[in-house]
Amino acid sequence: QKEVEQNSGPLSVPEGAIASLNCTYSDRGSQSFFWYRQYSGKSPELIMFIYSNGDKEDGRFTAQLNKASQYVSLLIRDSQPSDSATYLCAVDRETSYDKVIFGPGTSLSVIP
């Protein structure tokens, strides 16, 4: 089992819809969870950070964490074409603060 798994996509949603991206992880002791957005040919950019169970909202983005089920999700409301990118889920390993594990990413395409 891979440590961090995501649906590779591509996920296509119409403009204005809600995009839902999911991520599961295997290390039950993981403490911190991140979502990065990566445009083609560019570097990853941090968009959300969550460490407590429940929801965290920032503008059109909501991160949801369920440690019991070992999943974290990202919702993008009112999706825009500019949201078209690959979204990377990342998880801190419990045993080493600095060894963040990235998922393979989900490609999102927002159709105008």
Partner 1 sequence: EAQVTQNPRYLITVTGKKLTVTCSQNMNHEYMSWYRQDPGLGLRQIYYSMNVEVTDKGDVPEGYKVSRKEKRNFPLILESPSPNQTSLYFCASRGHYGYTFGSGTRLTVV
Question: Among 87, 79, 91, which residue's Cα sits nearest to residue 106?
Answer: 87
By beta-carbon proximity to partner 1, the closer residue of 43 and 82 is: 43
- Chain positions contacting partner 1, by CB under 8 A: 32, 34, 36, 42-46, 49, 88, 90, 97-100, 102-105
Angle 67-24-41 (CA atoms, 0-180°, nearest 5)? 130
Least distance between partner 1 and beta carbon 12 (Å): 20
Least distance between partner 1 and beta carbon 84 (Å): 18
Residue 106: strand pairing partners: 87
By beta-carbon proximity to partner 1, the closer residue of 11 and 100 is: 100
Q: Could you give the CA distance from residue 38 to residue 43 in angstroms, rounded to a whole number?
A: 6
